[in-house]
Structure 1
Amino acid sequence: MRLHKLTVTAFGPFAGSETVDFDALAAGGLFLLRGATGAGKSSVLDAVCFALYGETPNARRANRLRSDHAAPGRLTQVELELTLGGRRLHITRLPEQRRPKKVGTGTTVERPQTLLREWAADAGDGTPGWRPVSKSHQEAGEEIHRLIGMSREQFCQVVLLPQGDFARFLKGDSEERGKLLRRLFDTERYGLVEAWLAEQRRAQESAVHSGRRRLRDLASKAEQAAGPAAEPAGEWVPAEDGDADLTAGVLGWAAILRSGAAEQLAVAEAALAGAEAAQRTAQHEREAAEELAGRQRRYREALAEAERLAGFGEAAARDRHRLAAAQEAVGVEAALRLRESAAEALDRARAAEQRHREALARTDGGGQLPTGAGADAAELAEAERRLRAEVVRLEAARAEERRRTELAREQHALARDRRAAEDLAEEAEDWLAEFDGELARLEQQQTRAQMASTRVEQLDGQRRELTTRLGAARERDGLLAEIAAAEPRVAELRTAALDAREFGLDLRDRRLAGMAAELAAQLRPHEACRVCGSPEHPAPAEAAEGDRVSAEDEERAGRAQAAAERLWGEADQALTALRVREAAAAGAAGPESADVLARTLAELEHEHRTALQEAEALGRVGQEIARLSEDRARRLEELNEARERAAVLTDRLAKLDDEQRALTARVAAARGEAASVADRAASLTGLAEAVAAAAAAARTAAEARARLDEAEEELGGAAAAAGFPDAGAALAVLLPREERERLEARLERHHAESAAVRHELALPELAEAAARPPVDLPAAAAALSAATDRLGRAHAARSAAQERCTALAEIGRQLGALAAELAPALERYRRINRLAALAAGTSTENRLRMRLESYVLAARLEQVAAAASDRLVRMSGGRYTLVHSDDRGTGNKRSGLALRVVDAWTGTERDTATLSGGESFFASLSLALGLADVVTDEAGGMPLDTLFIDEGFGTLDEQSLEEVMDVLDGLRERDRAVGIVSHVADLRSRIPAQLLVRKGRHGSTLALAGREDA
């Protein structure tokens, strides 16, 4: 990284715009940045850091970077030109700040801005120049950080070497050194490793504690399942900090519990078997008693039922006689019902026949239908056949009639399409007739727009030229006013300087004239004269009282003359500079006045806006011409298609007209006097259906008459066959079917009940049970209840023993699984606990008590100490060397970041805090330079061609300063520039190239100063 140019405006102590040309300043490789305290030396370094990172080294707020001396309208801005990674970059940054409002009064907030540009051989117009890279804060910051390879903290420690920080670093303790090293080296990941190991240790420890809790829970469950007689689990369960083998004792104790539970289960099963046998015996005795009691009850109930059935014998005989007579008359009933049904059917058929004949008589059949009462079914069927045949012949005519309707619709649609085609063709012809005129109009507009576009380009050049001339004219007028105001002042100062010179020359002449009197005033009696050497002074010269001039008077006059001449020279130089600038502005502005140029520019602006408005229509007119051409092609295609379609439709309509006339003639012949063939066919179809209905009704009436005759003959035969003199006698004894069925059911039920009672009384087991004494059922039930209670208690005892065995077996399985699960968890806990303790520095195995992050930082510190020692040996004349120490800290302090200094003169190693002021400067400067080398390597080896060293040289004697300067001269190798920030007077004579920072009431300024200005 090499800095080329820095420009600051309204930044820090600088009220105006100040520029530092690092290429000229660092041409010799070493330069001095000097100035009074508070002038702003460190602000130059702040500006470099702000340009690169958008922040200053001390992280001041950006809105406090603005100079308090700056004018309200001047914005704070930093520009830095540098080379990074072989790329020439230009960075411009403006912090957030307040500025006056452009409209109205008050202020507004100006947002921060960042602009990153790169020098390119082709900046976009074929010439070399600055090419924009990014205007985004984030993108520009990421690109710069990628090229530098260092964070802001690393850059401020490596490039802007702050001696105060390294003096504290040199003499501080491990904690203070660790804070700086952590900022410079990315060791966060090692801290994260420590935290991760600690978290894993806590997680594994939690898992082990969880295993202990689960073990205690399972032991409690086992103790509860085993019952109060079991051995307590307390002495078998390990404590929180107990032996690592958590499950060995508990597993044995659980096995003992399972063995005892198994013995209890065997005893309970034996007791259950005895209870089951006693319960079965009581159950059998109870069942036998209930069976005997049931037989005795059945015998008593059968005797009572037999007595009841004996009282219904006479009623049953009467019901059997009545039922037999009714069943003999059942055949006459069926014939009678058939005759009645046939008579009703004949009445309905005759009524229907009468209705259909009357309806047929009202139908107009052309006098050809048999509508009289004498027409039989055959004649009506023949009339129906003739009508159906006529309907069939009309079907063809109906198809032609439908075709005629479809042709009419098609003709209408074709006529509509032909009219649309003709209208489209006419519209296309009208549009094409107007095409040439519209195209000519658009081409004229296009020509005018092209001419206006050319005029815009010409006016742009004239506007730029006039704008430049107007600015120069206004600058010229302003400079003329300044010159007019400055000339009287210069004349006054020239007069004052000439008067002061004349007064000084007059005093010198008067002193020379009175030199004899001045020498005579120094004579003493008997002392040799310094002019003639005589000890005698017979006539010493005497000066008049008003002409005596002393050396002090002459010296005061000389100082007044020098001051007057300096003021005159400065004013004359300023006037000359104004005249030079006025001449340059007048040459750029030309002879015209600013008002004339402003009016000319306003006219050009108006003409430019007019031409620009006309030129903006160029693209639109071109699009309209292209669209017009496309429309013409489309219209021609539409015209041809419309004409062809109209011709085709005309031919088709002619053919359809011929077909329509033929169909019309045939349909008219077919429909006769009807409105349409369909109406004619519907009329005939309705007539045929009426004839068919009348024929069917006549046939149904004839069939009903025949069935009635048959039913009357069958009724007479049935009465004779049943043995009745006539049908009336049979109807007298006839019963309804429901009554007959009820009598049959009652008789069957009486017969069944009587047979069942006789069967029940004939059973030998019932007779034998009736002969025995009554049964005592309560005693048998009480014995069974006692046996059942005993069986329930035995079952409960056996179930409890079984559940105990099952629960203990399940708990034993869980204990085994927990033992298998805890074994690897315990191993992981031992391993992670050891690693975490080692990384945290708390393990006895970590003899240095160093944390992992401290170990990595110690390695970096060892590299820094080695790099610093190379320079410290040269600065101290070979006496001192810095070494890294792993000694443990006192008390609870960790080790690993200690520094020791080795004194080659005494061969001893001592603490860095024992170094003197100058020696501390040697060591801290060596540390700063060594750290710069190590951080540079860590950041990817980015060459740092520009370094700054801030203060610390005031503690050095002449010999030490000479040795330090030799080391700094060595830094200039490989074209490296080193800037020293100091106000030590001795460095002014040693370093020719200097950047002088002057402070004043209205802000500080920057200027390059050579050795003669020192």
Structure 2
Amino acid sequence: MKALTLTMAAFGPYRHKQIVDFTTLGEESIFLITGPTGAGKTTIFDAMCFALYGRASGSDRDQDSMRSHFADPGEPTYVEFTFELRGKTYRIVRMPKQMKRKERGEGWKEDPARADFYIIQGEEEKLVASKIKEVNEYIEEILGLDYEQFRKMIMIPQGEFRKLISENSKEREEILQRIFKTEFFAEVTDYFKKQSKELQTEINQFEWKISQEKERIVWGEEADADLENEELSKVRKRLNQRIDHQKQMVSDEKAYADQLQQTTDHIQNQYFESKQLLDLFEERDRLSIEHKKLEENSAAIKDLENEHAYAKKAAEVRPYEKQYEERQRELDQLLLNQKDREETYNRVKSAFDKIQEEYVKKADQQEDRDRMKEAWQQKLREKEHVEEFLKKNQGLENLEREIANNRRSFSDFQEKEQKILQDKKWMKEKVKGERSLREAAYEKKQSYQTSQQRKERVERLSEEWLQLTKLRTQYQSVSKNYQEKKQRLQKFKESYEKALDDIRKHHAYTLSLHLNDGSPCPVCGSTEHPDVAGKPEGVLNEDQVEQLRERHKEAEHYFEKAQDELIQVKSDGEAQRQLTESIWNDLDIEHELSEEMIEKERQHCSHEMRKVLEEYNKLKEKIEDIQSTEKKLDEMDQQLEFLQNQKETLQRTINDQQQDQTKRRTELESLKENVTSTSVDPEELVKEAASFEKSYKEAEENWIEIQSLYQQKRDEWQKILTAVEEGKNYLEQAQKAAEQRKTEFDQTLVQFSFDSIEAYRSAIRTPQIMEQMTNEIQQYKQRVQVVNERLQELNQKLEEKERPQLQAVHEKLEKMQGKLNEQREMVNHLNVSLQQNESIQENIRRLVEEQGELAAKYYDIAELAQIANGDNHLRLSLERYVLASYLDEILIQANLRLDQMTDHRYQLIRSDAIAKRGAQSGLDLEVIDHHTGQQRSVRTLSGGEGFKTSLSLALGMADVVQAHAGGVQLDTLFIDEGFGTLDDLSLEQAIGCLRSLQDGNRMLGIISHVQQLKEEIPAKLQIDAGPEGSKVEFVFQ
């Protein structure tokens, strides 16, 4: 990755938009970032790291502190970063969570964090991702580094140099694994381990399955009590003999069962023939009894036939009777209806005569009703004239009052205008001294911010001093814990190595169980096996060994952790001391560093801040008072403009009202001519008009009601008169029809031989009863015929035959069937036992064959799993072996620069001492000191030595990664401080080493206060602090 441009807005100390164009460096691959403390040098790294990962570069910075304190509330905070990677150009824009103004209404709302990622192709820009999660995943994918790895390889923030070389073996493994993508080797190791365990489990399962099959063998009474403890080959031989014996037994018992079946079939045929003959005898007996009953019912059937014949005649006469009855019912109903109509006619005629008399009387009163209507309308006209006069008179009085009010308001506006003009004059004199006060307040604010920054550095110094004290105490505790963990690790190591040796012997014994003379050994290939491995005593199973291994690894882990903690605490203490002294030196205090001097400096800063703040607040109050006065002057101008507008509006209103007053007075004079008296109360006129209206409307409504009622009664009378005349005609016709139907009915009775109507009615039957009678007669005749024919047939069949004795034959058949069933159950039982033993025989053969194949395969896989997992004489896993080779290449490149920077004194090597302690090692680093010839841990290096070592390692790692083209391209490296720990010679050597990087087109940014670097490096990124935030630009010597 090579940085091209970086844009920051309202970010950290940068209020205004700042653009850092790295392309202006040209051939200058190394540049120095310089500026006063707190100006924002490290913020350049923070912005770049925030743009890529949404987090700052240092471990003590968070996202919430990124927004500039100089920025106004409405200014957005964002970072834009453009970089080049593997020939492609990318641009990323990221904004942290911040507050912004509401689009509608007043107030603020939270604007969530956002990120946009683009790829630039020529002049076109394509959006790749716009969600934070997608952008983060895409960045990690193309860079090949996550946030932590990026910090450690490309950006080395302030105070974190030693972490690059002091990471323990496990953490360094994770970095190298991600860079060189060696996860495949770990997967291979896990695969072998998993396969080994699965094969061992399968072999144990086969042994268990074989033992289960042995227990299921059906031996019979001749089986020995201790047969299950015999060898498998003997059990299989005995099983073969048992199956042959079972087959012979099944054959003999099945032949006897066939003989019993033939005898049973013969007896069963005899039983069926006797049963059929007995059924015929019983049927003849039943039919004889039924024939006798049929002869006894013959007389009753004859009577039923006569009754059925008369019922048929009555059914033919019935239609004539029904016609006569219908005509008679119609005649009776007409008589009743005619009687009702005549009664209604008399009642309606009487009512009509009465209402006709009232109608004639009301018609003669029409002239009285007309006079009442005229009087009512006259009163209404008088009321309207009086009301109009009074309404216009009241309107004139209201108008005159409004004119008087408006004239008083006009005078009030004139008085207010004069008072505001007087106040405005003296306020203008008051605001003339504002500018000088603002300049003095700004100076005080700058002085306060300077004191505040110094106090913050003192507070940080106090925190770092406290941390240094804690680290010194912690070192004593950690050192004791380290000795305890070392003794515990040695104990578990001895137990685990003994368990591994025992389990190898057990594997050899397991394989020997499946060796046969003449068959080759899967290990050595020999067909002769004179000395097979014996069964070892006290061997732990796989789970127990795994538990022991886990306990050993756990002890090893805690030992390494204690060792790392000891070295880390020591290293942290040294780094903490250097950091504390660096902050103390920056404060430029002549006295020696101590807790007492830190507290004294803190109190001094607080006193200065309070003093300056009091002076600033006084000036601020005066400025605020002047600002308030200026605001009041603006308000006065607005009030004067308002008063002038109001006066003009009132004057126009008064003129319009005076013209309206004259017009209304003229109208009132005209209305007086139509009013008899202006003193008449309109309410009295309303009451009189209402009285006349009520009398007229009551008379009119009564007349309309009489007219409607007269017409209604007249219509009713005419309608009922017509109905009475029509009823008389219908009644005459109905009487004639009833007499005719009566004559026809009487003639039909005589025709069908009924002496009287009573005889006819007694012969009547319902259709259901007629149908029942017919069915009963037919069924009787049919049954007589069937019984006679079947009796004749049975007498012929049973002639000269005797009734059989069925019980004796049945008892003989049941006895033989019971014996046959017992024999069949025996045969079935023998067959089940035989089939079970044959199935067991085949299962044992198959299981033994498959177990042998698995045992040979397990021997190879288990050996590979142990080697790949680190259970070897090197205690080095397959993946760590590969990573170690990469690390060796990195160390070769790193030592080229370390040799130059340390004047041939130090050389980095990979430690083999730690590798002997277990699987979590193999990647630890040590240095060879060629001045003493001693080999020691990198954590023992001093601050300056550690800085040069970490710088060499970072540069060497970048060279190797790019050489292998592992998907990670490291064209950029940033270093924040650290050069201050070098002496003059070391600094010269480091500068010379860094200059050699220009040949590889790699960009290196350095932040440092060292004067020699400022003189040696021509390209500088200059950062200047100001009252409105910092500014940044490239400067070239």
TM value normalised by structure 1:
0.45
TM value normalised by structure 2:
0.44
Larger of the two Rg values belongs to structure: 1
